[in-house]
Amino acid sequence: MSRTGTALLVLAIVGLALGLGLRFAGFSPAAQIVWTLGTLPVLAALLIEIVRALARGEVGLDIVAALSMSAALAFGETLAAQVVAVMYAGGTFLEAYAEGRARADMSALLARVPRVAHRHSGDGLEEVALDALAPGDRILVRRGEVTPVDGTLASATALLDTSALTGESLPVRIGPGASVMSGAANAGETFDMIATHRAAESTYAGIVRLVEAAARARAPMARMADRASLGFLAVTLLIAGAAWGLTGDPIRAVAVLVIATPCPLILAVPVALVAGLSRAARFGVLIKGAQALEALSRVRVLILDKTGTLTDGMPKLTAILTESIDETEALRLAAALEQASGHPVAQALVAEAQGRGLALPVPEAVCEAPGEGLTGRIEGHAVAIGGPGFVAAALGQPAPDLPPAEPGALRVTLGVDGRIVAHLTLADRLREDTPGFLAAARRLGIRRIILATGDRPEIAERVAAPLGLDLVEAALVPVQKVEIVLRERARGPVMMVGDGVNDAPALAAADVGVAMGARGAAASAEAAQVVLLVDRLDRLLPGIEVAQRSIAIAWQSVAVGLGLSVLGMIAAAFGLISPVEGAIAQEAIDVAVILNALRALAIRPRGIAPAAEAA
């Protein structure tokens, strides 16, 4: 809250307390003066704010508060006017607190932005501004520091805490050459990294831009609340005018104006929506504004890309067929030689071997035929790996007669000391979390799930077979994905999930576009309304549930708050509530409505353990 607002609140409270003291001491006329003087600064500030709102073309419902204070002063209800002044200033303070509390998790992301980095130079280390970093720079990251840009690990190991970004509570240990996301905290020993992007182009900078823009968009629900607020103003004036006109008692009209509170509309909706945005961010789901949050809550059709979305997006070892060697030794020799290659298949075999805890010797005399295979020596053995034809030619043998691999699978052959000893099959496997995600999505109200991919139909059908999808569309170009999104809108709001550049048009066309942002292309992240910071499809589920429950809480606050306000106005019109009692009741309704809206911060999605939340 601003200093001016705080000063007005203090002045109103002091005026109320001083006036009460004078009245109890028997100085009622003096008390009336003090209460008037305590009300006028708040009323003046309120009138200035109303004029500014009108200049912007906005009709603020603070008009009700201004009318109630003015009417109370005009008819000698100075105590009621002072109470309304205290309540208004206190409500403004409470609103500022609620907004700040609702944005707490997103603000925590912004607070982590590093200001400087430590770059290696010819003379040692130099402290430089983030904007001075360039791809290729070697950067030192000390214990507890936040990684300043995207890059790759140049040290033997690093322990990274990504909880503030992804909601994953446990630190992750990575090895040399692994990707390092900007914004991760160093939870272990000091390490070096090589920058791959400038600061402004890095993951964390994109997150910061999303967070800063998240609350600027006006949701349809918020705009509807604004329009409903005008109707509420009309109802308030109608009840107040009727109470005065039918009874001839202006005090009843004052009481109606005093108890009228539009806070369920002007405060509850934005507070609940911003709280929902903040809560979703805690689970690694960045939602670009209240409009996207509301759209996410209404999704009924889900369209999924395949590669990198339903599947891992990287080849994984699925089978090893050996002839004269055991599987473990075949994988060890293959991965040892593949250490010399940067091909995705090579990286997949090395990762599989390391995941099994195999020690990989250093290859010697390596010769690579790009796109075909490698030859070299491992612990004195002549080793060749690559396509069956390449390995057969390297060994001087005819190509082996092998049954065809399953659609979408890739087979590599391993030769050792002049003999073919194994065939390794790799494929882009279905994500482990995919079946559970799809089942949970249907429980959350998704009625239709479609696979839309550019892959061949036989590959798409193989992937979709165990999933129970409603429709499989394959061999698509980007414009065809957009056409599917537009066609499916007839069945309800559409959510599209993808991770590649080719998905960007469909993401932009959907009611809700979701980008797998942890590894997805920058174009898809920019086009999407929702970005998943964790490379896991099931992390979208808490985002959907938070959106649904945040919207429900907002509507609940509106219904209960306006209902209580209207009941209070009717009671005041019948003379059952005095202006002072009305002011107190009005503040009670405001507090109850705002506290209820803040319940969105405590939403705990089903199936998400407490440990999954960021600390």
> In angstroms, what CA-CA distances link 544 with 62, 283, 540, 566?
34, 11, 6, 33
**Whose CA is closest to 389, among 397, 379, 399?**
399
Rounded Cα–Cα distance for residues 79 and 84 (Å): 9
CA neighbor of 262 nearest in space, from 59, 552, 61: 61
C-beta of residue 385 within 8 angstroms of C-beta of residue 414: yes
Is the Cα dihedral 494, 533, 216, 229 positive or negative?
positive
| Structural contact between residues 391 and 413, judged by C-beta atoms closer than 8 angstroms | yes
**Neighbour-count burial of 121, counting CB atoms closer than 10 A to its CB (0-12 exposed, 13-18 middle, 19+ buried):** exposed
Q: Is 123 a catalytic residue?
A: no
Report the b/e string of 394-407 with b at 16+ CB within 10 A: bbeeeeeeeeeeee
Indicate which residue of 305, 428, 535, 538 is catalytic. 305
Phi, psi of 192 (to 5 degrees): -105, 150
CA distances to 113, 170, 290, 325, 326 from 282, in Å: 17, 14, 16, 49, 46
DSSP 8-state class, residue 306: I
DSSP string, 166-180: H---S-EEE-TT-EE
* β pairing state of 185-186 and 301-304: unpaired
Q: Which of 297, 305, 601 is nearest to 460 (CA)?
A: 305
CA distances (Å), 95 to each of 88, 98, 160, 582, 608, in order? 10, 5, 37, 20, 30
In degrees and rounded to multiples of 5, residue 124 shows phi and psi of: 120, -135
Active-site annotation, residues? 305
